[in-house]
Structure 1
Amino acid sequence: MKIDMILVFAIVVGLVAVPYALFILFGSGNSKKIEKQIKEEANKNNLNINHREKWASRYLSLDSIANKLLFSRTRGEQLVHQHIDLNTITRIVVLEDRISKRIDGKMHDTLEKLSLELISKENVQSIVINFYDSTLDATQNYEMNRVNKWKELIEKQLKLNAKHSKAA
């Protein structure tokens, strides 16, 4: 009787654990491939990344020595890179697009898009880094915290760059 219970337990655990282990071992191949492509892009552009973050299909990296951002995102099967020279940026603005929706008879304010706008010195062209878009992203995952963290990190980098420019 005990051997039967042990056998049943082993089969049930195997049915749960084996697929999970296979997913962990082989399911993250695309993620590793994308990470490799981002590292190659950084190396190709002589970037030494010291801050990075990955969420949804987006990857944001900062080289604080070269004063550059690398924003990468997947569009379908393709990985698109955007290089941003922070030497050309003077200020940053958080852009929030919200709409009011009636849910269960009550009005709720919902986030539709969340981005950082990097405004250039000449105010000619601004660069927008999209952190969340409800038409592309199924759920929110701390995007407000993430956008504020990166805004603070980039502003700190801009202040350091301004001090170095004045000292030189």
Structure 2
Amino acid sequence: MNISLLIISIILVTSVFLPFFLIDLSGKTAAGQRKKQFKLAIAKNNLTLSDKEIWGNSFIGIDRNQKKLLFMKVEGADQIDTLIDLSNLRDCKIVTAYRKSKVKNQNELLLLKLDLEIHFIKGRNVESLNFFDFEAPYKEDFELIRAEKWKAIINAHATKLQSPVIAA
């Protein structure tokens, strides 16, 4: 009787905790695969990133020596790599899209989209980097703070490029 009770207890405990363990393991595996993809792209472009950040399915990093910005986003099976040469950078701006909604008789603004737009001195196209999309399956907190941080990093780089060197 004790053996059958022990077997039933083991089966019950395993059936309760095994799904949690497998879900946790699969999440770590997917995150590990994304990090491998990010490292592979960094190596492929021969970059040494001084500042970098990974969140959700996105990655951004800047190589100050080569004046390049790498932005990557994984969407399902697709990976979008954007390598931007910052040598002709004018400035960087945050572009947002909001929708008004009424919650408990109060108007609230709901963030729909958050992009960084990178403008260049010479008539190149504007590059847009998507930091947040309401329709995306992954939601983040503090996306506006993250965008402001990277706007400051990129604009500081633009200021360094545009300021003339004064010889003594």
Structure 1 position 75 matched with structure 2 position 70: no
Structure 2 segments unaligned to the other structure (5+ residues): 1-8
CA contact 2:96–2:115 (8 Å) conserved in 1: yes
State the 1:75 CA deviation: 2.0
Q: Distance in 2 between matches of 1:129 and 1:89?
A: 15
Letter in 2 for 1:95: V
Q: Segments of 4+ in structure 1 off by > 6 A?
A: none
TM-score if structure 1 supplies the norm length? 0.79
Q: What is the percent sequence identity of the aligned residues? A: 25
Query: 1:41-71 CA distances to partner (integer Å, 9 max, x unpaired)?
Result: 1112111112111122111111111111111
Structure 1 position 118 matched with structure 2 position 115: no
Letter in 2 for 1:52: K
Letter in 2 for 1:65: N
Q: Distance in 2 between matches of 1:20 and 1:167?
A: 62
Q: Equivalent residue for 1:63?
A: 63
Structure 1 position 156 matched with structure 2 position 156: yes
Q: Equivalent residue for 2:5?
A: none
Residue 139 of structure 1 aligns to a residue in which SS? coil
Residue 47 of structure 2 aligns to a residue in which SS? coil
Q: Equivalent residue for 1:4?
A: none
Structure 1 segments unaligned to the other structure (5+ residues): 1-7
CA contact 2:72–2:79 (8 Å) conserved in 1: yes
Residues 1:107 and 1:160: Cα distance change in structure 2 (over 3 Å): same
Residue 102 of structure 1 aligns to a residue in which SS? strand
Q: Equivalent residue for 1:145?
A: 145
Q: Equivalent residue for 1:41?
A: 41
Q: Equivalent residue for 1:95?
A: 95
Q: Distance in 1 between matches of 2:126 and 2:152?
A: 18
Residue 87 of structure 2 aligns to a residue in which SS? helix
The alignment of Structure 1 onto Structure 2 pairs a total of residues equal to: 158
Give the alignment's Cα RMSD to 1 decimal: 2.6
Which piece of structure 1 moves more, 126-135 or 36-45? 36-45
Letter in 2 for 1:128: S
Q: Equivalent residue for 2:107?
A: 107
Residue 165 of structure 2 aligns to a residue in which SS? helix
